Structure 1
Amino acid sequence: MPSAESAAEFSGSAFDAPPDAVRPRNEERLQKILAAAGLGSRRACERLIDEGRVTVNGKEATLGDKADAVQDAIHVDGSRLVTDTRMVYIALNKPRGVVSTMEDDKGRNAISDLVPNIETRVYHVGRLDQDSEGLILLTNDGGLAHKLMHPSYEVSKTYQAEIPGPVPRAMGRELKSGVTLEDGPVKVDAFKVVDAYGKVALVEVVLHEGRNHIVRRMFDAVGHPVVRLIRTQIGPIRLGDLRPGRTRHLSQAEIGALFKAVGE
């Protein structure tokens, strides 16, 4: 069962029935599936298979093998390859003032206002409060979304926070050793000062917790309330130069890295 934290992150998301619901198998030559996924010509994909670099459901593939692009787990060089064309994996840079739900009954700007052209309903991975900004992932892959958010998989999230300066030397040690909040202790995996200017400092923290407002409450506890908060990374996926309010589709390499982050 999902934890309370995971369930909270799912709240407000809409989704279709799982795309891999029971259906007849539709097998094709493996090299045709690999080529359709963008790995090169069929001849190049045959070489990948012949070199032992492709597995299907954990078994090394051989030339002549067939697979179902929707139902089978295909890996190339150990990285999961998404061959189901119905699957959607998107990075969104959520601006300040947008709520992390697909729809909002109070009429506030919501995620769906930023992605009006997605034809399938999606999960959003990683909630941010209305005043926070940065990376949210959108996908109709419910199984992957659940694993990315569930604390047991310990997928890290990276944030940059503007806080009042100067930053005490002991702050990093304190946050790494843990601070106690009303709903239990929390500690960061990493901490660094990125920049300091006047009475404001820019710091970066990495943690894998998902409790509501956890970063803001953590800095409140050490006496440096957050002025601005931006999530810059979820697992291996970076926000990069994606502009606020914009989206981009993840590459096959990024999708494979997400699966690897949850052990698939």
Structure 2
Amino acid sequence: MAIVECKMRLDKFIASMGFGSRKEVKNNIRKGLVTVNDNLIKDPGFGVIRGKDRVTLKNQPITYEDYQYFMLHKPAGVISATEDPKHKTVLDLLTSKHRKDLFPVGRLDIDTEGLLIITNDGELAHNLLSPKKHVEKIYYARIQGVVTEEDVEAFKNGVNIDDDYTTMPADLKILKSDQVSKVEIIIKEGKFHQIKKMFEARDKKVIYLKRMAMGRLQLDPELKLGEYRVLKVEEIELLKNR
């Protein structure tokens, strides 16, 4: 039996990769700004085969990708959402052309910095976020108050937050114990404001929080706050093969 290659509408192909809205893309096609395999195409409904046909818009090649993966060094003041009427979102920081269906994997609070994965791979996101998968998230924090070995033990046993929920065991490492302590925390879940609530339950306050790693993927030290880059193939494999 012959294999039938599935075709996609030309306008959908281009719009999916972030090169304008469907309306804008259709107009550009009709204006003669698009080629397929070096042939000028003016029909928005023209069928193209992903990964085979060569498509250009204004002489710029467009490569279709089913999934995209970005590492973002999230700054404070930006929310982990796809859109928001009041605040800048993490997707607003992506200035390069990208798929329209990207989303952040999990949420970092508006005042939390650090590693954030942005993708459109729903299965990967589920596997990274599900408590049943036990994927470690590593954070660095500064804490108002003296962090003690008693706190370390409490984290190891799980901390009661929100009156009706006890966290999974977490690793707390004291880097510096003082009026402002410095610590590293490893958790395997991601409840709303979890780390802040865990320390509040110990009568202490998180004054700075930064995610350093997710699974085996670490934040690239070369990325400045607000910067991002495409994940390397081997980094994607690190996430998938935790």
**TM-score of the pair, normalised by structure 1:** 0.64
Distance 1:130 1:118 in 2: 25
* Residue 58 of structure 2: aligned partner: none
- Counterpart of 1:139 (choices 112, 119, 125) is 119
- Counterpart of 1:111 (choices 90, 109, 113) is 90
Question: 1:53-132 counterparts in 2 under 5 A?
Answer: 85-105=65-85, 107-120=86-99, 121-132=101-112
Indicate conservation of the 8 Å contact 2:104/2:116, yes or no.
Answer: yes
Distance 1:85 1:119 in 2: 9
Instruction: Specify which structure has the bigger relative contact order, considering alpha-carbon pairs within 8 angstroms and separated by 6 or more residues.
Output: 1
**TM-score of the pair, normalised by structure 2:** 0.69
- Counterpart of 1:152 (choices 125, 129, 132) is 132
Q: CA deviation at 1:24?
A: 3.9
Q: Secondary structure at the match of 2:173?
A: strand
Which amino acid in 1 is paired with 2:90?
I
Question: 1:210-221 counterparts in 2 under 5 A?
Answer: 210-221=190-201
Unpaired segments ≥5 residues, structure 1: 1-22, 27-68, 71-83
Q: CA deviation at 1:173?
A: 0.7
CA offsets per residue over residues 133-153 of structure 1, 9 Å max, x none? 111101121211122112221
* Residue 170 of structure 2: aligned partner: 189
Distance 1:118 1:151 in 2: 33
Q: CA deviation at 1:259?
A: 1.0
The count of residues paired between Structure 1 and Structure 2 equals 182
Q: Secondary structure at the match of 1:228?
A: strand
Indicate conservation of the 8 Å contact 2:130/2:189, yes or no.
Answer: no
- Counterpart of 1:203 (choices 172, 183, 186) is 183
Q: Secondary structure at the match of 1:226?
A: strand
Q: CA deviation at 1:180?
A: 0.9
CA offsets per residue over residues 64-85 of structure 1, 9 Å max, x none? xxxxx98xxxxxxxxxxxxx84
Identity %: 34
Unpaired segments ≥5 residues, structure 2: 8-49, 52-63
Indicate conservation of the 8 Å contact 1:188/1:205, yes or no.
Answer: no
Q: Secondary structure at the match of 2:83?
A: coil
Distance 1:203 1:188, change over 3 A: farther
* Residue 35 of structure 2: aligned partner: none
Q: Secondary structure at the match of 2:209?
A: strand
CA offsets per residue over residues 24-72 of structure 1, 9 Å max, x none? 479xxxxxxxxxxxxxxxxxxxxxxxxxxxxxxxxxxxxxxxxxx98xx
* Residue 232 of structure 2: aligned partner: 251
Q: CA deviation at 1:202?
A: 0.9
Structure ID, larger Rg: 2
Distance 1:195 1:184 in 2: 29
Q: Is 1:168 the counterpart of 2:148 in the alignment?
A: yes
Instruction: Provide the alpha-carbon RMSD of the alignment.
Output: 2.2
Indicate conservation of the 8 Å contact 1:123/1:145, yes or no.
Answer: no
* Residue 22 of structure 2: aligned partner: none
CA offsets per residue over residues 98-150 of structure 1, 9 Å max, x none? 11112102x21111221132420212112011111111101121211122112
* Residue 218 of structure 2: aligned partner: 238
CA offsets per residue over residues 225-256 of structure 1, 9 Å max, x none? 10011111111111131211010211111111
Distance 2:172 2:144 in 1: 16
